[in-house]
Structure 1
Amino acid sequence: MARVLVVDDSPTDLAAIRKMLESDGHEVVELSEGSNALETVRSTQPDCVLMDVVMPGMNGFQATRAVSKDSATQHIPVIVISSKSQDTDRLWALRQGAREYIVKPIKQADLLAKIRAVLEG
């Protein structure tokens, strides 16, 4: 299936997302902070990035913007995953370059459907 980079500072969320993705056959790469996101996306060239918003240092909006604006990584779709459920948060994520937005708690069926959608174009 796909190689998915998951950027989230919560070990609990990382473990839950990893389980959801691996049960569907995806390869998972994990990163616990946004500040290394662009470098990691460049080096691993994942098929998709799942990006948390609230993280220390560089937040997910900033990291999404960096990935979506970089010529070496802009083709890689970013799905923002956040506990922030306001329409303004979703719109801001999309303005930063995210292709999709998922509100926590994550439902496995929703997550897998959104990944399929961004991978299919």
Structure 2
Amino acid sequence: MPVKHILVVDDSPTERFFTVDVLTRAGYQVSTAENGEEGIAKAKTLKPDLILMDVVMPGLNGYQATRTLTRDDDTKEIPVIVCTSKGQETDKIWGMRQGAVDYLVKPLNPEELLQRIAAMP
């Protein structure tokens, strides 16, 4: 099933604006959430085709939100790509262990982001 609707979960207005701009120019429908709790709630109601999840956020962090989403029957089929400034190998391993299907380190490269999305099964 091709990706059409993407939920961007990031507490940074600048990062959200940049990511939404890249995705809408590429023809995707985009929704946003400012933190993990809002991301989980919107994922359950909007049922996006893909979630781009930041890690460092107030309240529920992106690892916790990803783990919640990938273990919930309502949202476990929605793939999550972690997009974060945390670039250590241990961070990536931990992100993938939470159920993420991919892991990108900020600053995001627009071409790489779009390639990863296009490669989604």
TM range (shorter): over 0.9
| 1:43 match | 45
Indicate whether 1:13 and 2:6 are aligned: no
In structure 1, what is the Cα distance between the partners aligned to 2:36 and 2:85? Answer: 16
TM-score, normalising length from structure 2?
A: 0.96
In structure 2, what is the Cα distance between the partners aligned to 1:75 and 1:102? Answer: 20
Indicate whether 1:22 and 2:24 are aligned: yes
The code of the aligned residue for 1:57 comes to G
In structure 2, what is the Cα distance between the partners aligned to 1:33 and 1:69? Answer: 18
Question: Percent identity at matched positions?
Answer: 45
Task: Write the deviation string for residues 79-118 of structure 1: whole angstroms up to 9, x where unpaired.
Answer: 0000011000000000000000000000011101111222
RMSD value, Cα: 0.8
Q: 1:61 aligns with which of 63, 66, 91?
A: 63
DSSP 3-state at the match of 1:79: strand
Query: What are the residue-to-residue correspondences of 1:1-121 with 2, within 5 Å?
Result: 2-118=4-120, 121=121
Kindly report structure 1 stretches of 4+ aligned residues shifted beyond 2 Å. Answer: none
Q: How many residues align?
A: 119
TM-score, normalising length from structure 1?
A: 0.96
